[in-house]
Amino acid sequence: MRHLLSAGDLSRDEATLVLDTARELAQVSSRSVKKLPTLRGRTVVNLFYEDSTRTRISFEAAAKRMSADVINFSAKGSSVSKGESLKDTALTLQAMGADGVVIRHSASGAARRLAGWVDGAVLNAGDGTHEHPTQALLDAYTMRERMGRLEGLRVAIVGDIRHSRVARSNVLLLHTLGAEVTLVAPPTLLPVSVGTWPCAVSYDLDEVLPKSDVVMMLRVQAERMRAAFFPTAREYSRRYGLDRDRFARLHDDAIVMHPGPMIRGMEISAEVADSPRSTITEQVANGVSVRMAVLYLLLGGSESAIGNGN
């Protein structure tokens, strides 16, 4: 694995290795000294063209727990906001000798472009409406921890599939790992060619819920309403929101996930978000472990992840 640009780049063995490594590394997070020497001397650049404090902090914590040097390069207050091109920024990072670049960008494919311009490993932390592979990995990790397996797991992904990088990465990764995905959305929020994707599709959340082990609620942005993807927030909530009544249709072991940030009341009601069967806070913690695993596998070379301690 040289870069992580798409969840579809991972074979089943590679994806499983990431999850297993993350599990090992999670133990570190529960120790009093949370630091490993594994990536000492390596430089990781967080190149964030979009505001996403939660994702940046997650990557930063992951890199620091592995003792990497972290440089945060955010669009605000840097040459980027003065119109420097991605290519020129890439050449700067190259000159700095970055071993890994974590990139978040509003343009689909920005991570792929960057990978063509730098020697270091490129880690896609979300590119436009394309993919967000570490989110899918942490979601898969969370499901596996909670449900004990991924093979045959029935996962419903609900919301703005068309514009969601989380949905794209999850469909690819969960398919690779043997889960059965059903996408649920109004037809306007599904891609036109969704029939070719390796998953099922439904317009009817009530019909899908009783047959799901995992329900993943995606954020729906208000601007979609203005562009006529659905008539009103109220109608969206009524047909596709996960409220208490719908929650009751799930079987007792089913869990509810949300990649955050969520809009309580729109796609998920507060009592569902705060229920013990919601994994929303676990997902945040698991995010650090999974990102540690990915950084280790991309940058760590031959040393073992935990090391022998020194």
Partner 1 sequence: MTHNPTFLIRGARPLGGDPADILIRDGRVAAVGAPAAGDPAAEVVEAHGLIALPGLVDLHTHLREPGREDAETVASGARAAAMGGYTAVHAMANTDPVADTAGVVEQVWRLGRDAGHCDVQPVGAVTQNLDGAHLAELGAMADSIARVRVFSDDGMCVSDALLMRRALEYVKAFDGVVAQHAQEPRLTEGAQMNEGVVSDRLGLAGWPAVAEEAIIARDCLLAEHVGSRLHICHVSTKGSVQILRWAKSRGCDVTAEVTPHHLLLTDDLAESYDPIYKVNPPLRTAEDVAALREALADGTIDCVATDHAPHPIEAKETEWSNAAMGMIGLETALSVVQHTMVDTGLLDWAGVAERMSATPARIGRLSGHGRPLEVGEPANVTLYDAAATREIDPAAMASKSGNSPYRGTTLPGRVVATFLRGTPTVLDGKIQ
Q: Is 149 a catalytic residue?
A: no
- Phi first, then psi: what are they for 252, rounded to 5°? -65, -25
CB of 56 to partner 1, least distance (A): 19
Q: What angle do CA 256, 293, 119 make, to 5 degrees?
A: 125
Helix or strand or coil: residue 102?
strand
69, two tokens = 């040097």
Q: Is 196 a catalytic residue?
A: no
Using rule CB under 8 A, residue 85 touches partner 1: yes
82 annotated among ligand-binding-site residues:
yes
Site for partner 1 in 180-219 (CB under 8 A): 191-194, 196-197
244 annotated among ligand-binding-site residues:
no
Marked catalytic residue, from 43, 55, 142, 182: 55
CA nearest to 178, candidates 147, 135, 206: 147
CB of 159 to partner 1, least distance (A): 15
Among 129, 202, 221, 275, binds partner 1 (CB under 8 A): 129
Q: Distance (Å, rounded) from C-alpha 38 to C-alpha 305?
A: 6
CB of 10 to partner 1, least distance (A): 16
Among 130, 219, 224, 291, binds partner 1 (CB under 8 A): 130
Q: Is 239 a catalytic residue?
A: no
Q: What angle do CA 21, 32, 59 make, to 5 degrees?
A: 45
Q: Is 82 a catalytic residue?
A: yes
Using rule CB under 8 A, residue 131 touches partner 1: yes
Q: Is 132 a catalytic residue?
A: yes
Per DSSP, what are the bridge partners of residue 180?
Answer: 154
Marked catalytic residue, from 42, 104, 163, 258: 104
Site for partner 1 in 216-275 (CB under 8 A): none
The torsion defined by the Cα of 35, 39, 40 and 43, in degrees rounded to 10, comes to: -120
CA nearest to 108, candidates 82, 132, 84, 83: 132
The amino acid at residue 111 is A
- Which residues contribute to the annotated binding site for L-aspartate? 82, 165, 219
Residues that bind partner 1 (CB under 8 A): 85-87, 105, 107-110, 112-113, 127-131, 165, 168, 191-194, 196-197
